[in-house]
């Protein structure tokens, strides 16, 4: 059996930013009638089946999960508590590792405590110094985001969460 990797998008294209260069936000229009994050969230039955089957399909002793969006933190920390519980339930002796790509806007002490405790690797999206970040990575109403992302970076450091910037 050969190794392979899947990038999970449990909230699809939904994001809390409106980056000027984003090609993914327009995907929401392909699914008319969906309103907020609840309409996009991966159902529990699909989540458990995905986790169980993905772990079972991996031949190695370490299984890597990668979570992306849109913006996966819109699902809330309880969704990822459920993810970790399901991974533990289906691990069958394998070590599970998680990576999560985020814009960092919603990270707080609660999130960072959870991420540290469960050893998530975080990819923090940032476009560079404030003048670049605030020009291209803006909120839905055009609000700047650099200070919020910088605050989140500080929280990740404070809690000892391993992260990289993209």
Q: How confident is the model at residue 38 (pLDDT cuts 50, 70, 90)?
A: confident
pLDDT of 41 > 90? The answer is no
pLDDT at 26: 73
Model's pTM, two decimal places?
A: 0.93
What pLDDT digit, counting tens, does each position of 74-128 carry?
A: 999 999 999 999 999 999 999 999 999 999 999 999 999 999 999 999 999 999 9
Tell me if 54 sits within 8 A of 62, measured CB to CB. no
Q: Could you give the CA distance from residue 57 to residue 73 in angstroms, rounded to a whole number?
A: 27
118/97 Cα distance (integer angstroms) = 9
What does the CA dihedral 58, 61, 62, 63 come to, rounded to 10 degrees?
A: 20
> Which residues are 116's β-sheet partners?
none
């Amino acid at each position: 059996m050969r190794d392979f990797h899947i990038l999970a998008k449990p909230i699809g294209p939904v994001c809390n930013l409106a980056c000027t260069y984003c090609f993914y936000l327009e995907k929401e229009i392909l699914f008319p009638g969906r309103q907020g994050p609840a309409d996009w969230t991966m159902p529990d039955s699909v989540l458990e089946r995905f986790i169980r089957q993905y772990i079972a399909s991996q031949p190695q002793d370490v299984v890597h999960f990668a979570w992306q969006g849109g913006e996966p933190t819109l699902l809330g920390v309880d969704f990822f508590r459920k993810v970790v519980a399901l991974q533990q339930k289906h691990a069958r002796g394998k070590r599970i590792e998680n990576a999560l790509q985020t814009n960092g806007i919603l990270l707080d002490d609660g999130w960072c405590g959870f991420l540290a405790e469960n050893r998530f690797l975080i990819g923090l999206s940032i476009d560079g110094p404030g003048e670049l970040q605030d020009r291209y990575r803006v909120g839905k109403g055009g609000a700047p985001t650099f200070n919020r992302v910088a605050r989140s970076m500080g929280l990740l450091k404070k809690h000892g969460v391993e992260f990289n910037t993209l």
